[in-house]
Amino acid sequence: MPHATEHPDPASAELETALRSGPFHVALRAAITARGLPLQRVQHHLSRHGVKVGVTSLSYWQQGARRPQRPESLRAVRALEEILRLPEESLIRLLAEAPETADGDRPAPRSYRSLVEAADTLDRLRAELDWVPDGGMQTLGHHERVRIGGRRELAGRESEHIVRAHRDGVDRFVAVHHGDPGCRPDDMAVHALENCRTGRVRLDRDTGVLVAELLFGTRLRSGDTFLFRYGITDGTAGASHEYVHRFGSPGGQYALQVRFDASALPARCHRFTQFSPAAPRAGRQELAVSEPHRSVHVVEPRVRPGTVGIAWEWE
């Protein structure tokens, strides 16, 4: 009886190529796909190896948005080689190589989905600060000023909020900072600049998320308005290519300004919006960097759920 022609499994063939050529995140994603394991199962297997890694971190690793670097993370990678039945050192070897990027030296833009997936981390960190979803207040205005340093890095930002309480007893706000890939939240600093003081701070190294409690020093009554300002010093990652702000609910005016160091001016800038993970980026509009101020800005009179951002290109 003639034998049927055997065809290689496409997933296995892709995995073999990825393990040989990399980069790390493509090989990891191919290995997980080839084994048919959802990330929750991968996390479960890791816990049985005595390694704790969040589903969000695993998702970031296979997207290329984060690279495992800490000793605990590298231990997880070695465990993944065993769990996914890969040759020893196959993933570790790819991690040792320089990360590849979409345009040679430009990383792929952070996807809307990656921002949404960071919500798991945000929920956990906010829960540690006993923070309810809207904090009992509505944002009437939010003006954000981002600084790009001489190394093209996200040096830091300042945010000024105007809020109105919709219940009695509101006395604080929880700020969120999402650093660029490769950032070090431990080395960031939170500064209470006006009408607030810094309370508890929590962070997640794998996702680059930092949350900080800002205490008003007074209790607002329903209908009261309040203005406060704070800053984040970052400067811990490589070259930055965009700044994105995600809104989970409708709100008032949002203004975003990005100012560049005189020694690091971009070649081009544009604004964009995106209102669902499945939707493409839209609302693209070129922005000219003002010569005397080295800055660009966008203003949204009323925000709706989704993202608003500014992206730029370096020569």
| 105 domain residue, yes or no | no
Beta partners for residue 246, in sequence order: 307
| 4 domain residue, yes or no | no
Contact 209, 176 (CB under 8 A): yes
Same domain for 156 and 275? yes
| 205 domain residue, yes or no | yes
Domain carrying residue 41: 10-96
- Residue pLDDT tens, the chain, 315 long: 444 444 445 567 778 887 888 788 888 888 888 888 888 889 889 999 998 888 777 877 877 667 787 777 888 999 999 999 999 888 888 887 645 443 334 444 555 445 555 667 777 888 888 887 788 999 999 999 999 999 999 999 999 999 999 999 999 999 999 999 889 999 999 999 999 999 999 998 888 899 999 999 999 999 999 999 999 999 999 999 999 998 888 889 999 999 999 999 999 999 999 877 667 788 899 999 987 899 999 999 999 888 999 999 998
The pLDDT of residue 9 is 55
How many other C-beta atoms lie within 10 A of the C-beta of residue 267? 9
Same domain for 117 and 92? no
Same domain for 136 and 227? yes
CATH of the domain at 179: 2.60.40
The pLDDT of residue 54 is 80
Question: Considering only CA atoms, which of 246, 292, 250 is closest in space to residue 144?
Answer: 246
The pLDDT of residue 18 is 79
Contact 230, 196 (CB under 8 A): yes
The pLDDT of residue 101 is 43
Same domain for 17 and 123? no
Question: Considering only CA atoms, which of 40, 33, 87, 94 is closest in space to residue 64?
Answer: 94
Same domain for 140 and 84? no
The pLDDT of residue 270 is 96
Same domain for 56 and 174? no
Same domain for 116 and 159? yes
Same domain for 237 and 304? yes
Same domain for 73 and 138? no
Using CA atoms, how far apart are residues 210 and 240, in angstroms rounded to an integer? 18
Burial class (CB in 10 A: 0-12, 13-18, 19+), 2: exposed
Using CA atoms, how far apart are residues 28 and 46, in angstroms rounded to an integer? 14
The pLDDT of residue 241 is 95
Same domain for 270 and 124? yes
The pLDDT of residue 134 is 80
Same domain for 87 and 129? no
Question: Domain ends where: 96, 123, 150?
Answer: 96
Number of domains present in the structure of the chain: 2
The pLDDT of residue 102 is 39
